[in-house]
């Protein structure tokens, strides 16, 4: 993320900035709590009403702060949106136990697919995706903010790394593991996420489990018969 023109700080570091007040300078812990309260308020309003309909005044009111306090923390509404996206996407990142996946390729990919589905279908992730679909025409830079965070590219690199390991072991004959990883990720997410957004009935846990298993099975059978 590009540092802010004012002082070279990012929205994340601005959250932790202390703001002078009547009772003296708050501690760093108090400053962090206040910053988190602002982001909490903004997350609720962005997801409930959309980016365009959410004003700085509404965020300040919900967070119980003055606009002056808000502007000590964030340059403007786009900077606040970046902080909200940081919060949501950081919660989608894979935990250490997923990053250390070992074992049979089919089992590894099925476990990874289930984790990806759980992350992609979190209420905040679905709400963010719904908002981007609804508002990206009016505010095209919103999607760019999410892309900049690189969570999709990160997942693709991770899956491609697993496939490359299998190629080196002689278990797969793919010549473009990154392309294959992209297709697997989209296969895993696309339909369940659309259904969670209202395009059909949301999938049950049993259906999601079967979906992860069947998508990986289809993917691997396609990879094993790969011909360029």
pLDDT value of residue 134: 81
Same-domain status, 105 and 195: yes
Asked if the structure places residue 3 within a domain, the reply is: no
Query: Does residue 2 lie in a domain region?
Result: no
Total domain count, the chain:
2
List pLDDT tens digits, range 116-145.
998 889 888 888 888 888 887 888 777 777
Choosing from 88, 113, 139, the residue where a domain stops is 88
Q: CA 170, CA 84: separation in Å to the nearest integer?
A: 43
33 pLDDT exceeds 70? yes
Indicate whether 102 and 197 sit together in one domain.
yes
CB pairs under 8 A, 24+ apart, for 106-109? Answer: 106/216, 106/217, 106/220, 108/162, 109/159, 109/162, 109/184, 109/216, 109/219, 109/220
Q: Of all residues in the chain, what percent carry a pLDDT higher than 70?
A: 80
Question: Are residues 44 and 28 both part of a single domain?
Answer: yes
Q: Are residues 51 and 146 in the same domain?
A: no
Asked if residue 19 belongs to a domain, the reply is yes
Inside any domain, residue 150: yes
Alpha carbons 160 and 154: distance in angstroms, whole number: 10
Residues 103 and 66 in one domain: no
Q: Does residue 1 lie within any of the structural domains?
A: no
Do both 123 and 47 map to the same domain? no
* Range of the structural domain that residue 127 is part of: 94-224
- Residue where a domain terminates, one of 34, 68, 88: 88
Q: What is the CATH number of the domain that holds 33?
A: 1.10.357.10
Q: Do 74 and 131 sit in the same domain of this protein?
A: no
* pLDDT classification of 86: cutoffs 50, 70, 90: confident
């Amino acid at each position: 993320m590009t540092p802010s023109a004012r002082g070279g700080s990012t929205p994340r570091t601005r959250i932790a900035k202390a703001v002078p007040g009547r009772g003296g300078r708050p501690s760093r812990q108090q400053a962090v709590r206040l910053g988190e309260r602002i982001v909490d308020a903004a997350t609720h309003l962005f997801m409930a009403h959309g980016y365009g309909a959410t004003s700085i005044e509404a965020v300040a009111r919900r967070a119980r702060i003055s606009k002056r306090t808000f502007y000590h923390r964030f340059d403007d509404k786009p900077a606040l949106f970046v902080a909200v996206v940081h919060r949501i996407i950081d919660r989608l990142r894979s935990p250490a136990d997923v990053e250390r996946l070992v074992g049979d390729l089919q089992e590894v990919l099925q476990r990874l697919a289930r984790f990806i589905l759980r992350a992609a279908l979190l209420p905040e992730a679905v709400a963010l995706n719904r908002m981007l679909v609804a508002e990206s025409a009016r505010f095209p830079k919103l999607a760019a903010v999410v892309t900049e965070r690189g969570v999709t590219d990160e997942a693709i690199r991770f899956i491609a790394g697993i496939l490359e390991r299998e190629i080196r072991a002689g278990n797969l004959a793919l010549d473009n593991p990154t392309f294959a990883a992209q297709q697997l990720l989209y296969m895993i997410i696309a339909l369940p996420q659309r259904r969670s957004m209202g395009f059909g009935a949301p999938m049950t846990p049993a259906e999601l489990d079967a979906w992860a298993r069947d998508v990986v099975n289809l993917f691997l059978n396609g990879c094993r018969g790969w011909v360029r």
